[in-house]
Structure 1
């Protein structure tokens, strides 16, 4: 006992002689060792090595089917697959890298929805107010922010409504220009239905939401996303199509379809429905923020993940800016969004209960991007009936 106490006294004496910096360094080393042991244990628990091999085989089949882009798959914080495939720029034979930024297309709607809900939490927006409350000259009555978020507005599609005007006038409209065109149109473009009559996926809804965010926040939507979402979450490789100059600092990809590069589109300055460029790594941070409920409240996210379209029976549904996959009891099993725009097609698909996220970003159009049933089965660890169809959903 005396010998033991003697050793303790020596250790305490040595420890007391160490500087605060040395003590902190030792503490950090111990924390790192503890975290490494935790991760090793977690990898065993989720059978990470086995899943990684199976996922590689599944992705090899996608490559044979023509996939070109980046893929990141994580479960319980463990990276199971992180790969860059093919070319960011085919003309100059610049290969995709893990930091390559892709146009997210409609996957951008998840950011728009969170931006709106964030302003609602701050008391600056109300989902029950109409577009006319923010734009008095808007020609349509009764279109609430809630109906925009859930694609239940019945509004006309801006891409077709103003296409001739934009090309004739050689204008690259932004969101405020679109709002002005709606206000000045005489007669107003014909609506497809009355507000809240039924679900109809429509890019106009989220382009208007981004315009409302700009007006209320008094910021360009690009700047709002950067200040309120990207920077707080450490998404340093994310930007929008209005800020392609940023791509000089990162590796931007180009979209391809039918073997041709798609040029800058006349509607690329319209944000909210599309327009965010990001990387698989940054999207993993986005998933973590949604899972940890660190960007908006649990209550707001619950609203976003609540199914709001039951006109058409089935498992697919929509909340506020998020697509939902339901189980047989009409409860949400999976949350996701897909995207397609000018050669790019994308999907981010996640299960909050089993804590996995699947991210595929492609810059050469290929419908195989949406075929992820095998990947889901692997992450579940068994060939079970997931109720997910082979083809999730195209845009």
Structure 2
């Protein structure tokens, strides 16, 4: 199925091309580099001012602030960033990164993205598929011969149609009795050696069933096919090329990651490390609102994967259950009555953190909310979407978490 919407070129690209032409003209006419830089800076400011006027940024910012202030009154604690056409309309930090030490959140604060992390895992898989290192129609058993389940393709993992059991429930007794923090490869070994084999919920590709096991396996597959730990691969091939200098996987062994790192809170208490914290792919990315804006730019400008791969990722895959919500490869989708994608997003919740990144490819806006104290207002963004549409929204209900 092809999507009918055209994805607009990022405004930064327009600005870049405009400034490049100025720079070339300056060089041909003997203008100094310093002078050219000043011209470029002026050109950038003029282009941003033009875009801000075009999208009515000031009015939108004022309206957005009213909504965010209401969320704050209802307990929101975290960071917000909303942008359109490459221009930040609104950003704000609220509350504390660490309540015990009264360390306040700032725009560089790093939040556990929870299931929003799945978008990164999916892009990593598609990147490896483009490079010919992974075949989407191959099965998990092709890469892990001891995996006890047949017929589960990489595609079915990407769109939650595997029918597999939930790892966090299947092995919970083992993990808690032995008090261990398993890795993705240990999880794969448990599936391979468990007696009896944990039963599946349904046959592969029978219907959509959201399941963290799928993306934990995909992260293990990245490690198996690249020979690198998941955190290293992601840093070298996803975060760095996207310019995401403040993002990392939870298992990263580097003290610098603790700078501006937040702590998760739920039910008024600090959440301690969970036994499953070191299994990643389904969760585990820490990032900032600024880096997620770069993530959005990398997706729409095909910095990491090509246009065809991204279109495949945001094509709806599940129609067993009627409704507007659907799923592609690692992205939740909001579809119209023609079963075509209108909005692309993902939510997340894990141990006090809850998150959302929501974007409209046609209107070229993105809404990002990251919270380190569980609060369901994070997911209630209908009014924000209406504002970004100039008060005219096609949304019929609010976004819900998983």
Tell me which interval the TM-score lies in, with the shorter structure as reference length: over 0.9
Partner of 1:110: 119
1:393 to 393, 397, 400: 400
Deviation of the 1:61 alpha carbon = 0.5
Is 2:260 aligned against 1:251?
yes
Q: d(CA) in 1 for partners of 2:307 and 2:43?
A: 30
Contact kept? 1:350, 1:358, Cα under 8 Å: yes
What secondary structure is seen at the aligned counterpart in 2 of 1:251? coil
**Distance between the aligned counterparts of 2:396 and 2:301, measured in 1?**
25
Using the size of structure 1 for normalisation, the TM-score is: 0.93
Q: Distance in 1 between matches of 2:180 and 2:254?
A: 20
Query: Structure 1 unaligned runs (5+)?
Result: 1-14
- The aligned counterpart of 2:78 is 69
Find out whether 1:138 has 2:147 as its counterpart: yes
Q: Which of the numbers 61, 64, 69 marks the counterpart of 1:55?
A: 64
The separation in 2 between residues aligned to 1:239 and 1:264, in whole angstroms, is: 17
- Indicate the structure (1 or 2) with the bigger Cα radius of gyration: 1
- 1:292 Cα deviation after fit: 0.7
The correspondence of residues 279-290 of structure 1 with structure 2, limited to 5 A, is 279-290=288-299
**1:327–1:387 CA contact under 8 A, matched in 2:** no
| 1:304 equivalent in alignment to 2:313 | yes
Instruction: Find the counterpart in structure 2 of residue 152 from structure 1.
Output: 161
Count of residues in correspondence between the two structures? 376
Moved over 3 A (4+): 244-249
TM-score in terms of structure 2 length: 0.91
Where do residues 1-395 of structure 1 align in structure 2 (5 Å cutoff)? 23-243=32-252, 245-246=254-255, 250-382=259-391, 384-390=392-398, 392-395=399-402
Contact kept, 8 Å, 2:248 with 2:257, in 1: the verdict is no
SS of the residue corresponding to residue 34 of structure 1 reads helix
In the TM superposition, what is the alpha-carbon distance from 1:250 to its structure 2 partner?
2.2
* Residue aligned with 1:115, SS: helix
| Contact persistence 2:250–2:278 (CA under 8 A) | yes
C-alpha contact 2:246 2:287 (8 A) present in aligned 1: yes
Whether the 8 Å CA contact 1:104–1:361 is kept in 2: the answer is yes
Asked whether the 8 Å contact 1:70–1:360 carries over to 2, the reply is yes
Structure 1 residue 24: Cα displacement: 1.0
Q: Which runs of 5+ in 2 are unaligned?
A: 1-25
Q: How far is 1:245 from its partner? A: 4.3
Give 3-state SS (helix, strand or coil) of 2:251's partner.
helix
Residue by residue over 1:27-50, the C-alpha shift from the partner in whole angstroms, topping out at 9 and shown as x without a partner, is 111121122111111111111111
Paired with 2:120 and 2:377, the residues of 1 have a C-alpha distance of 24
| Cα distance in 2 for residues equivalent to 1:355 and 1:248 | 31
8 Å contact 1:237–1:250 — kept in the other structure?
A: no
Counterpart contact for 1:257–1:343, Cα < 8 Å = yes
CA distance in structure 2 between the aligned counterparts of 1:342 and 1:355, rounded to whole angstroms? 31
| Structure-1 separation of matches of 2:53 and 2:179 | 59
CA distance in 2, matches of 1:87, 1:298: 39
Q: Shift in Å at residue 160 of structure 1?
A: 0.3
Q: Residue 193 of structure 1: SS of its match in structure 2?
A: coil
**1:168, distance to aligned residue in structure 2 (A):** 1.0
Q: 1-side partners of 2:280 and 2:258: how far apart?
A: 21
Q: Shift in Å at residue 385 of structure 1? A: 3.9
In 2, Cα distance between equivalents of 1:98 and 1:34:
26
Contact 2:166 2:212 in 1 (8 A): yes
Deviation per CA, 1:287-310, whole angstroms, max 9, x where unpaired? 000111111010000110000010
Taking the aligned partners of 1:254 and 1:102, their CA distance within structure 2 comes to 8
**Cα distance in structure 2, aligned partners of 1:37 and 1:229:** 32
Q: 1:99 and 1:42, CA in 2 relative to 1: closer, same or farther beyond 3 A?
A: same
- Counterpart CA distance in 1 for 2:318 and 2:257 is 42
CA RMSD of aligned residues (A): 1.4
Q: Is the 8 A contact 2:64 2:384 kept in 1?
A: yes
| Structure-1 separation of matches of 2:368 and 2:253 | 22
- 3-state DSSP class of the match of 1:242? coil
